[in-house]
Every structure is written in structure tokens, then in C-alpha cells.
Structure 1
Amino acid sequence: MTDTPSSSRLHVLKAVEDGWNAFTKAPWPFILYTLLVGVLSLIFQAIGNAATGGGSNTTLGIGGVILTIVAVVGSWIVSLWGVTGMVRGSWIALDGRKPAFAEFTRWDGAAASRLFVRSIALTILFLVIAIICGLVGFGLAQLNQVLIWIPAVVALILFIYLSVNQKFLPYVALLEQRGPFDTVQRGRDVVDPSWWWVVLLLIVDAVIIIIGALLCGVGLLVAAPVVACITTAAYRQLFGNEDQTGLFNGN
């Protein structure tokens, strides 16, 4: 499928319906994979806490530095692997097939690299905005302390705006052949016409996650993959369903 025209509107209820139906095609692989990613994330978090002595140590020895590096690198790898696997599994389910557990867990180094670099690009963009607004705020504060709120509000608005239109950045990074900052621009081009509908999608996702968290936390094992499936369905509405990178065939 070719690129969806930027005038297309996101149909949130349809995304929710399609996402739920996709999850119900293979609930146990989704739940087990979510559990596995969660356990691995907690393990690396515990390693990081051990490196800092639970935050009580002000300095780190060589062992602490090594453990910190292991924790940071491990957390990043698990995060990239988790996102890639969930995108792959939810996509397969939306295509009408039951994803096998092995399709969730398969490591794709090229995909992880694309996702990492594009995430860094977005982080850099946020940092640039923060630095510029901070410098402007510092200058205005020399005139009047009240004026510092102007760049602060501008920064907040820009952060919210970008957070919404970059909702699908992992998908663009994993499925499209685009450079780091072109990936960010792609999100703006496609999402902006449906910006408020994507805000509604984010609210729906948040409600599902909150409900899952309230169910003794165990509900997150269902809520997290359901949200992933809904988000994948929404992406397919706005961006199309073309796999330009071979994510689903291992190329």
C-alpha cells in the first residue's frame, strides 16, 4: 500500500475494535511476551540499583561503574527488543494470523538500530527546544522574573505537540526507510491533520493502562499488549500497511 494521504482521519473506535480483535487472536503469546520483557526490565533495574547501593552511594567504584553500564545497556536492549517484538506480533495479528511466540522474541539488530537512532534524534530535538527556551527564559528573567513563564509555556506546548505527533515514531522507524530526522518529519506530516484524534487515542490508551494498573498490576499484562495492538491498528489507518524494511520476513 502506498503512503496514506495526510488528509486521512484517524478512526479511534475502529482502531480500538481492530486492536482488541488482534489481541484476542493470540492472548497468551502477547501476555507471556509482556511478562518476559517486564521481568528482564526489572532485572536490569535491580542491577542498576545495586550499582548505586539503592541511591545511598555518592561515588561509584569500578564494580559500580561496570554494573551501571550493564544496567543501562541491558535496559536499552530490552526496550528495543520489546518494542520491535510487540510491533511484529500485533502486526501479524492484525493481518489475521496468530503470531507464534518465536515471532515476538526474534532479535532483529538492524531494526533495533533504526529504532535506537531515531529515538536519539527525537531526544536531541527535545533537548534543543529545552536549551533554546531555557536561554530565552534566562535572558527574559534579567528584565522581569515573570517573563520567564513565556518560554516555559512555549516549551510545554511544543513538547505536548511533538509527543502527540511522534506517537508512531517506533513504527515509522521500524517499517519505513527514512533518515532519523526525516522520520520525525514524517510523523508531523501524517499525524498533524488528525492531531486531536491522536490525542483521543492517547487518552484511550492511558485509560486502558490505568485500569490494568489498578487490577493489582497484573492487569498490565493484558493492558500493555492491547494498547500495542490498538496503536498498531491506528498506525495502519494513517500510514498504510507497507513493510519497506522487511521487518516481518527477517530481511
Structure 2
Amino acid sequence: MTGTPPSAPYEPSGDRPVAGGGEQYPSHAGQHQNPEPAPVSGAPEPGPVPGRHQLPGLAGYPQFDGPGAAQYGSEPVEPPLAFTPQPGAPQPPAGYGPGTPQQLPPAGMPPGANPPPPGGLPPGAMPPPAGAPPAELAPKQGYTPPRETLDVGAALTYGWDRFRLNPIPWVGMVLIGMIAWLVVTLLVNMVDVQSLSAVVLLFAVASLVVWLLQAAMIRGALYETDGTPPDFPAFFGFVNAGNVLITALIVFALCLVASIACVFPAIIVGVLCMFALHFVIDQDQNPIAAIQSSVRLVVANALQVTLLALGVLIMTVIGTLLCGLGLLVAGPVTAIATTYAYRSLTNGLVV
């Protein structure tokens, strides 16, 4: 048998001559062909279809025709409205505001840090930390906040209120001081002391105990102004007992020298050194610096401190007239009131 083999079954059919004439497979549109639709009258001719790996044309991608005129496809997007400041409204700083690109911090600056000024930082200067106030709001160098005015009545009332809330440790401290002074007085009266040096030694020991107790009461009063009622061991929480004793000795010597001239100069020296132990215990100053700080503070607030000293003197006299028992209340109240005055005049903490 001879003849031409038939064509592949999936070849496109057409007018193909075969042996014996005629067509082996007639041409039918549909099964494996994409028929082309008939052109519509008046429609534009279709352009070339992009291939599989061919990027589309300009349509569908944002194009820019001039600054700020973004386009998507063939439809332009309206530009942003121009920023018009209102009369009297605060103006934004240069480099900020609507229509202005965001200024990013330089490389290496942590997020949230303030950007450098427009002119840049001076040589060797560090950028301001994150959250720091602007330069125009930062406190000026050498600025000192204004001192509060001292209300003598408020100081004494504060001393009484804090004492009545925690009376037992305060009464115990006053009793220790009274007992120490009575013991020394009885020894001088009962024992026949022939030499002056022995009397001076006894009173020096008594004064030492009284000074330490005074410093302990100031320590307790500082606890009260901090809002922490002290217990008995807390009164002896100071660690600079040496400076306390030296300061007290210097103040005692100054008062003694001033009393040789008259009693009034001794009172003035005592008032000027009223806060010396406070500066030693609270701020750990040396004796000379503490006395100088006390003098400056008293001179700067002479009227208020003088009224406070008069109030303390009146309460002490009244407590002494009540057979000394009134000192159990007057001593703690005046100690707390004096410490309240010290903290108020130095802008310290008062709770």
C-alpha cells in the first residue's frame, strides 16, 4: 500500500491537497482556535498587545509633569491646597508645615531626638537629648528659682501638726536632754568641785550631749518635712557627727565672745547661726561653709527669721514656766518649725 501519510490530528487545518483530492480535515472555528471578532464600525483599531515579559506603557504608573503634579494613568490628580496662615496665628518654623517635606534627623541620632538648628551645631557641641525643651524655653545658666516667703504662723502650725501625729519619739528625745542636763547640775551642786577646770569639764560634757541631741532633733525634723515620721533610732541617722560637733563648738565660742560685750550681740550671733546645723546635716557642708550659708540665708530674710526667732523664744519661755514640762511640747514644735523655715527658704522639700 502506497500513499501519503495523513497530517497530524492537531495541526491547523486548511486547504491541503491529499491523495485522491479533497480535504482531509475541514476548517472549523472554535475548538483550538481563537476566533477574531468582527470589527465594529467606528471603533478605534486595537493597538499591539504587549507580550508576556513586556512592561506596559506609561498608563497605570505614576507620572510627574512638573513639581507636585502627580498623575496616575491619564487622569491627573489635583495638587494639594496652598497653606495660607490665618492672621494672628503662630507661624510654623522654617522647614516645617504643610507642603514641606519632613525633616529627618541625621544618621546616628536616636529616634525622637530634637533636630539640629538650621545653621548646624557649633564645633564640638553635642545634640540636645530626646525630650529636652527648646533653647528658648531652657533655663538660663546661673538662673536661681525665686525663694518662697516664710509664713511664721504656718511654720509653727506645721510644727504642731507634725508633733501631735508622732509625739512619743519626740518626747523621748526631749526627756533624754533634760535628764542629761539635770545630772550635770546635780553633780556640780552635790560634789564639792574645787577647781574651775573640773566645772568647765562637766559643763562641756553636758553641752556636748545637748548639742548632739539638738542635731538629732534636726535630723528628725528633716524626716518630718520629707513626709516620713521618724522612729527613735532615725533621730541618730546623721553620719557627720564630727562636723556637727565642730560647728556647734564654733557657734558656742562666737556667742561666748559676743556675750562678753553684751547679751544682745550674743543673741544676734545665735540668730545668724540658726541654720548652721541644718546645712551640715542636710547638705553635708563643712562647719565654716555651713555658718556662712546660715548667715547669708538669715540676712536675706531678716524680717521673717527675726519673727520666727521671737516665736521660738516665746514658746520656750512659756514651756519653762510650766515647771519645765512644757518643753516636752515646745521643744519638738520649735525644732520642726525651724526646719520648716529652713526648707522653705532654701526651696527644699516640705510635705
Matches within 5 A, 1:178-217: 178-217=285-324
Alpha carbons of structure 1 residues 65 and 211: separation in structure 2 relative to 1, 3 Å: closer
d(CA) in 2 for partners of 1:128, 1:203 = 22
Partner amino acid, structure 2, of 1:180: P
The answer for the alignment partner of 2:150 in structure 1 is 10
d(CA) in 1 for partners of 2:269, 2:197 = 34
2:212 is the counterpart of 1:81? yes
Matches within 5 A, 1:42-121: 42-51=182-191, 53=192, 59-60=194-195, 69=201, 71-104=202-235, 106=236, 108=238, 110-121=239-250
Cα distance per residue 1:3-58 (max 9 Å; x no partner): x868553221221122122112211211122112211221123223344x2xxx6x
Matches within 5 A, 1:93-242: 93-104=224-235, 106=236, 108=238, 110-126=239-255, 159-241=266-348
Alpha carbons of structure 1 residues 100 and 178: separation in structure 2 relative to 1, 3 Å: closer
Partner amino acid, structure 2, of 1:225: P
Alpha carbons of structure 1 residues 206 and 67: separation in structure 2 relative to 1, 3 Å: closer
| Shift, 1:125, TM fit | 4.3
Partner amino acid, structure 2, of 1:24: R
d(CA) in 2 for partners of 1:158, 1:214 = 25
- Report the 3-state secondary structure (helix = DSSP H, G, I; strand = E; otherwise coil) of the residue aligned with 1:72: helix
Cα distance per residue 1:82-104 (max 9 Å; x no partner): 11221122222222222112223
Question: TM-score normalized by structure 1?
Answer: 0.69
Higher relative contact order (CA 8 A, sep 6+): 1
Alpha carbons of structure 1 residues 159 and 211: separation in structure 2 relative to 1, 3 Å: closer
Question: TM-score normalized by structure 2?
Answer: 0.51
| Shift, 1:192, TM fit | 0.9
Number of equivalences: 207
d(CA) in 2 for partners of 1:204, 1:196 = 13
Contact 2:147 2:347 in 1 (8 A): no
Partner amino acid, structure 1, of 2:220: G
d(CA) in 2 for partners of 1:167, 1:237 = 14
Partner amino acid, structure 1, of 2:176: L
| Shift, 1:240, TM fit | 4.1
Contact 2:219 2:237 in 1 (8 A): no
* Residues 116-125 or 35-44, more deviating: 116-125
1:28 aligned to which of 156, 168, 171: 168
d(CA) in 1 for partners of 2:310, 2:200 = 35
Unmatched 5+ stretches in structure 2: 1-143
| Shift, 1:222, TM fit | 0.8
The answer for the alignment partner of 1:143 in structure 2 is none
RMSD between aligned residues: 3.1
